[in-house]
Chains A and B, each alone.
Chain A
Amino acid sequence: MNMLNELYQEVILDHNKRPRNFGELDDANHRAEGYNPLCGDRVTVYLKINGDKIEDIRFKGSGCAISTASASLMTESLKGKSLAEVQELFKRFRSLVTGKGGNGEKSEMGKLSVFQGVSEFPVRVKCATLAWHTLQAAIEDKTGTISTE
């Protein structure tokens, strides 16, 4: 069960059960929907961007533990960040879950580093990145549903 415990860390299980920043954001000025057709996961990301800062961020949707926890932890870690910082964090996050990041990356990622276990499960990478891709689409104001496929 070692690899499993790496994947389903306490923090992930907790955020799956009690997702933070869950629900619509009334004064959002950006939003996008994401969909993973392989497992039916859906997520909507709501953003309030002020200047180049993410002032507020919430999400709703349904999905597996990895995608729900990833969306939840993403919202927690992005509040107050500048758009440039968001891009940097997404890049690092992607490296982390695909196993391409060094340990240096991990230390700078705070709570997001709990997703390192995903790199041992290549088919679950899309679960972890769905919310992030959807965030990207919300920032860029892409219309339509963003698919992982």
Chain B
Amino acid sequence: MKSAYDVAGHRPEVSPAFDVAAIRSDFPILKQIIHGKPLVYLDNAATTQKPQQVIDEMVRFYSQYNSNIHRGVHTLSQRATDAYEQARAAARAFLNAKETREIIFVRGTSEAINLVARSFVRPNLSAGDEIIISAMEHHSNIVPWQMLCEETGAHLKVIPINDRGELLLEEFERLLTPRTRLVSIAHVSNALGTVNPIRDVIRMSRKLGIPVLIDGAQAAAHLKIDVRELDCDFYAISGHKMYGPTGIGVLYGKRQHLESMPPYQGGGDMITSVTFEKTTYNEIPFKFEAGTSNIAGAIGLGAAIDYINGIGKEVIAPYENQLLAYATEMISAVPGVRIIGTAGEKTGVVSFVLEGVHPHDIGTVLDQEGIAIRTGHHCAQPVMERFKVPATARASFALYNTREEIDALGRGLHHVIELFK
């Protein structure tokens, strides 16, 4: 059997400045043996692994200063509040928001989108109004809008994509009307890896005064994000897809929007005073953080941001792009493979189908080799429909992946072919 780089005739160079061995040693889970083989974790678009630094920060919180935040006068509460608010400041800098109060802690991108749907869009939405999404959205950026449309009689419009999995901007322009109330679109597609031209989307929407929400779940670990330069109205990220814990994410919103929006949920911490006659809501961001927050999660997310910053996205992005190029070459060279999603600009994801072998069977065979990939519709059934496949196999990459792991994937795919030939 030939390895992919024999087939291709050369190996693309990977930046020597990037010390992937040192990075891998930060992630304890990667040392594991699965079915007798070293773990090759290529399911990073579903969730990334966590470095020891993030795990340690969360353990430190629970073992040294666990307490509730914001109203405690005792020392531990003060420490916890400081750490929580420091994480908010880190998130502000990570997204380059203007003010920390524009940073709302949420459970993740799904909750962020639901928050915008309920508190920003719903109050001003009437029958006949329109919301625009794209054909490559994750279910979490489809279903909340369908729910609003069902309630109000508004219409959901979908920007079509071409056979490479790229957004058709000229079609988008035609969809924009005076009835458009919001454009909500993924920065990076989880199923295809496409990096969308969100600058153009925002500029075109802005001209007509239409607000834009960017689903940044798949972008946060890979691309530099600058919400002020983008001039988007909302931007949502999930901690667990960027080396942080699950159950925590961030919604960025422009201050003037957040201030005018009603709260999303009622509860403690989101109020300044409550009587049975009248409740006065707290200021932003607290107005949107009802109940005791995921304090450890926020602290873990802050540590994940510090971890990414410590390496630098300017170093991470080129390394990951080289990995993606290498993986694309390797997987394309496997006989019978069709890559789903071949956009000019991509990050982190190779989705593919293999002639005569169902993705589920690919996933099972690879798992026996210690290789974790995703198989299925990736919570993006309309994308599968668009490409006329019931499911795909998806390898997705993070900063700790190596060329050797991609070679292992290539060998695994050849085993699949041998087994099903």
Q: Flag whether A39 is at the interface (Cβ < 8 A).
A: yes
Is A39 within 8 A of B390, CB to CB? yes
Q: Which of B89-97, B169-177, B193-201, B355-363 contacts A (4 or more CB under 8 A)?
A: B355-363
Complex Cα spacing A42 to B356, Å? 16
What is the total number of residues of chain B having a CB less than 8 Å from a CB of chain A? 19
Complex Cα spacing A1 to B391, Å? 25
What is the total number of residues of chain A having a CB less than 8 Å from a CB of chain B? 21
Q: Which of A21-29, A62-70, A83-91 contacts B (4 or more CB under 8 A)?
A: A62-70
| B377 surroundings in chain A (CB, below 8 A) | 40
Complex Cα spacing A121 to B358, Å? 16
| A121 surroundings in chain B (CB, below 8 A) | 364
Q: Which of A3-11, A71-79, A95-103, A134-142 contacts B (4 or more CB under 8 A)?
A: A3-11
Contact of B358 among A1, A17, A38, A63 (CB under 8 A): A63
A-facing residues in B371-388 (Cβ within 8 Å): 375-377, 384
Is B419 within 8 A of A8, CB to CB? yes
Contact of B390 among A7, A16, A42 (CB under 8 A): A42
Is A65 within 8 A of B358, CB to CB? yes
Is A62 within 8 A of B390, CB to CB? yes
Q: Flag whether A13 is at the interface (Cβ < 8 A).
A: yes
Is B368 within 8 A of A124, CB to CB? no
Known: A1-B368, A4-B365, A4-B368. A127 touches B420 (CB 8 A): no
Complex Cα spacing A64 to B356, Å? 9
Known: A38-B376, A40-B377. A124 touches B364 (CB 8 A): yes
| A7 surroundings in chain B (CB, below 8 A) | 364
- Minimum CB–CB distance from A63 to chain B (whole Å) comes to 6
- Minimum CB–CB distance from B36 to chain A (whole Å) comes to 10
- Minimum CB–CB distance from A75 to chain B (whole Å) comes to 19
Is B419 within 8 A of A127, CB to CB? no
Known: A65-B358, A121-B364. A39 touches B391 (CB 8 A): yes
| B360 surroundings in chain A (CB, below 8 A) | 39, 41, 64, 66, 124, 127
Is B365 within 8 A of A41, CB to CB? no
- Minimum CB–CB distance from A140 to chain B (whole Å) comes to 26
Complex Cα spacing A22 to B420, Å? 20
Q: Which B residue's beta carbon lies closest to that of A36? A: B360
- Minimum CB–CB distance from B276 to chain A (whole Å) comes to 44
Q: Which A residue's beta carbon lies closest to that of B392? A: A40
Q: Which B residue's beta carbon lies closest to that of A4? A: B368
Q: Which A residue's beta carbon lies closest to that of B35? A: A3
Complex Cα spacing A7 to B420, Å? 12
24 A-B interface contacts by CB (under 8 A): A1-B415, A3-B35, A3-B368, A4-B364, A4-B365, A4-B368, A4-B419, A8-B361, A8-B365, A13-B419, A17-B356, A39-B359, A39-B390, A40-B377, A40-B384, A41-B360, A41-B390, A62-B390, A64-B358, A64-B359, A64-B361, A65-B420, A66-B360, A127-B360
Chain A positions near chain B (C-beta within 8 angstroms): 1, 3-4, 7-8, 13, 16-17, 38-42, 62-66, 121, 124, 127
